Structure 1
Amino acid sequence: MAVNDADARVRIDGVGKRFEGGDGPVQALDDVSFAVAEGEFVCLVGPSGCGKTTLFRIIAGLEPPTTGSVSLDGERVDGPSTDLGLVFQEYHLFPWRTVAGNVGFGLERGDVPAETRERRVRDLLDLVGLDGFADSYPRDLSGGMKQRVALARALAVDPSLLLMDEPFGAVDAQTKKMLQDELLDIWAETGKTVLFVTHDVEEAVKLADRVVVMAKDPGRIREIVEVDIERPRSRSDEAFGDVYRRILDLIET
């Protein structure tokens, strides 16, 4: 699916990243360009060392590119923004805050009235399946529950783009499947634009509208694969297996 300027929520244009190493400069990314349409779910996959997380950090405004640019809704990304919701593999929850306190943290930094903030937090906890846990603390939660808190916190400020960096990488297989299904439900309900980094090809095929496949040395786009399979998707379906093998071949060759 080609994404034109009018449809693009986020656009990555010619992004390159060079680091200075002990043996000289290292080109981590080279001329990476693609766009994500409003409401689209795009996954980013590739071999270890291809620069997936570096690209994620550049898109998030956490570090600048050496060349090229990232724009969100037509505005250049020059640093962190509340218009970007971030979810990482590590939950980064405040242990001294309750679940509600963690989810509502971003809202406290704006001029959001307390009543509106509390209602928003309640709605989000219901959305991620944590109704009844508002007064719990992170230490009382399972890994899957902590990640749902992190997702609710990212959604609290109603960002234009939800960026997720291997968010389910630290949970067991059963919990991962549950979180994947819940994320797709939340995505369908909210209409959010999602860019999701993963090393798990099966996860990418299950979730994405398109999969951006990266190569390494230097990090670059190998191919963008459309996943034209009706949801919900099953690993046992022939079409799923065909796309899975195609992406795996691109990564391994």
Structure 2
Amino acid sequence: MATGKVIYSFDDVFSQIQDGATLIVGGFGLCGIPEKAILALREKGVKDLTIVSNNCGVDDWGLGLLLANHQIKKMISSYVGENKIFEKQFLSGELEVELVPQGTLAERIRAGGAGIPGFYTATGVGTPIAEGKEHKDFDGKTFILEKGIVGDLAFIKGWKADPHGNIIYRNTARNFNPLAAMAGKVTIAEVEEMVGVGELDPNHIHTPGIYVQHVFEGTAYEKRIERRTVATV
């Protein structure tokens, strides 16, 4: 059941996800990841997914859960160093990987959301990243063409939202989420707190509701730490 943009179960919208879909997922490490949506995706069991996200979680949490369930066919990401399942599937040829410099990945997602099909960047020139890509000189400097990314769906994690889908993120959990929200043909936001219309200060809204089609209020977030580091006092 749904009321406007507010949904009470991911089942209400997951019928839109087909095998082979491209999904853009917010988060950085385990910070600001849409935990509940990922768990629901695992239960749905869709396969051959292309996932666009900064990284692929860890072995037993985040997007790593979808890897372990053999649901991901291709990862487009910047960092892959915390997941042994990822390493195993990549080396065996089961998982296709497109590594993208982090700033380029952010700009590709932003460009896709802004309706920009491509842009030139100097990042990656002269490296394997540039192989097979168009090169062009501007003012005596070489750049490569990178294409914008648009997903069939985007999954993001917010802190607070109103029923119109206006989103506020908390601190560094903001990371890739605003970009991902723009670049999905359909964007599903899960948040920790739903407030009434008019309760969010318009000056503090990070993602306007125009980019969000569905909002889900989750509870009991684990908020795991990817790699805990403590200091001896």
Task: Tell me the TM-score normalized by structure 1.
Answer: 0.28
User: Which structure would you say has the larger RCO, counting Cα contacts within 8 Å and 6 or more residues apart?
Assistant: 1
Give the number of the structure whose residues are more often helix, by fraction.
1
Task: Tell me the TM-score normalized by structure 2.
Answer: 0.30
